[in-house]
Amino acid sequence: GAVVSQHPSRVICKSGTSVKIECRSLDFQATTMFWYRQFPKQSLMLMATSNEGSKATYEQGVEKDKFLINHASLTLSTLTVTSAHPEDSSFYICSARDPWDTETQYFGPGTRLLVL
Amino acid sequence: LAKTTQPISMDSYEGQEVNITCSHNNIATNDYITWYQQFPSQGPRFIIQGYKTKVTNEVASLFIPADRKSSTLSLPRVSLSDTAVYYCLVPSSNTGKLIFGQGTTLQVKP
């Protein structure tokens, strides 16, 4: 299947700082990427849909000013957690939809964020 | 978006066949059914996808009855490494959104 990467795989930051997470589709161009968050022993929660060349669309309850999403190219979407707080500590996962195989999403390996 | 319902947990033993059934009563005509596997601290991994009848790949089989209101993921001869959470999902045919339920935690015992 298609390959999606994330960087970094884990990050520790101080409260109040911002953290950027990258999501790349390695062998296909993705016009649409998705960002999820997963807390321990819970399921994935969709945060937003990232569209190349346009603004992201956020799910209800997700603060767009806190979770900045940029999809500047067909292979890269970034999620920036601004002014991070300990409650933002979570596992962040992205996925990408191959336009030639629109029914399938391929997920990245995830990024573990710990805010101290 | 079609809501899915599946058992929260299942136990099995090595070498057995495991069948996980998922219901999706309000599936739309154009919707596909997709199954993912997730290990702790990893992103979900695509297993199989189908629209109707039966689909088989090197990992699993997917059985979908004619009314498409349910589907069954079949894992032949499971091993300890198949212990994971399995998610049944119906992506929105328009937006591609996936709404994850709790999934089925499969525990394979020796």
Mean pLDDT in residue range A25-49: 93
User: Which residue from A minimizes the CA distance to B98?
Assistant: A46
Q: What is the pLDDT of residue A91?
A: 98
Query: Considering only residues 59 to 98 of chain B, which have any Cβ-Cβ distance to chain A shorter than 8 Å?
Result: 87, 91, 93, 95-98
Q: What is the pLDDT of residue A27?
A: 87
Nearest to A110 among B42, B49, B97 (CB): B42
Return the exposure string of B25-55: e unless at least 16 CB atoms fall within 10 Å of the residue's CB, then b.
Answer: eebeeebbbbbbbbeeeebbbbbbbbeeeeb
Say whether pLDDT at A54 is over 90. Answer: no
Q: Does A90 touch chain B (CB under 8 A)?
A: no
Say whether pLDDT at B2 is over 90. Answer: no
Quick: pLDDT tens for A78-110: 999 999 999 999 999 999 988 777 678 899 999
* CA dist., res. B58 & res. B76, Å (int): 10
CA distance B64 to chain A (A): 17
Quick: pLDDT tens for B37-65: 999 999 999 999 999 999 999 999 999 99
Q: What is the pLDDT of residue B42?
A: 96
Say whether pLDDT at B7 is over 80. Answer: yes
Q: Does B34 touch chain A (CB under 8 A)?
A: yes
